[in-house]
Amino acid sequence: MDTGSTSGLYPLHRSKTIHLVRHAQGIHNVIGDKDYKAYMSPDYFDAQLTPLGWQQVENLRKHVHASGLAKKIEVVITSPLLRTMQTAVGVFGGEGYTDAVDSLPLMLANVGNSGRSAISSLNCPPIIAVELCREHLGVHPCDRRRNVSEYQCLFPAVDFSLIESDEDVLWKANVRETKEELAIRGKNFLNWLWTRKEKEIAIVTHSGFLFHTLATFGNDCHPSVRKEINKHFANCELRSMVIVDKSMLGSDSSATDYPGRIPSGPDAPSDEKLAKDKPVSGSTS
């Protein structure tokens, strides 16, 4: 046996499966990938998805249904920007919305000049907007969000209750969040996940958030595994990972462990004790 093995063992109930998704292609990505300075343009404020981005959404949606993920995911957490919420509802939302259905749509028709039909909130996991998993904060207009009250009109069935301020008080025009600050925010976000009961969670977020958060992990892994954890995400890429609760942040008990010795009391006598108590052959009672 190889005593140098680095296999790990951890209680199942102290782990969660997270499905990390970078948003599909936004209008800012098209020009920004060619000229980084373009991210400074106010034209890309809260950038929406491109037609190619919506095609990427459709492809990922087909994958999560074909792979069975759609039935496993209990909740979807999304960054509260237009491109991430469009991706979240497009991939994980219900089928086509009709007015006859007695429920609010996840997204109205043609949000962000998408030309898309409204998206139903039926037969899909709840989708919750959370500020902690936003992109790099500050300076770039594409990373500034709209007022929550405006989003609530566009995405009626998305849950915005965890966002405290209607206005975007986190984004600063002249101050860019540092990489270290972003990584700390990412760690805080992962720690926050332990306050939730769900074990299978999809997270729709951004390239910078994913890269700088995941860069803090994998130092104790084989270089190939670390590379797999830390590499940049493509638009609409999904990667499934397991996180473990090493610091007892969560309080959930196991749903599958079995304590044994039920009813309570001493175990049955051992074979040795039974043999001692057995009468000798030929003896009288």
> Hey, which residues are catalytic here?
23, 135
Give tens-digit pLDDT for 117-147: 999 999 999 999 999 999 999 999 999 999 9
The model's pTM: 0.87
pLDDT of residue 274: 58
Residue 39: the pLDDT is 87
Checking if the pLDDT of 3 tops 60, the result is no
Mean pLDDT estimate for the chain: 89
State percent of the chain over pLDDT 90.
72
- CATH architecture of the domain formed by 15-244: 3-Layer(aba) Sandwich (3.40)
Confidence of residue 68 (pLDDT cuts 50, 70, 90): very high
**What's residue 5's pLDDT?**
56
Q: What is the pLDDT of residue 74?
A: 98
pLDDT of 285:
47
Quick: pLDDT tens for 191-207: 999 999 999 999 999 99
pLDDT of res. 38: 83
Domain spans in the chain, listed from the N-terminal domain onward: 15-244
* Closest to 107 in 3D by CA, of 161, 61, 58, 156: 156
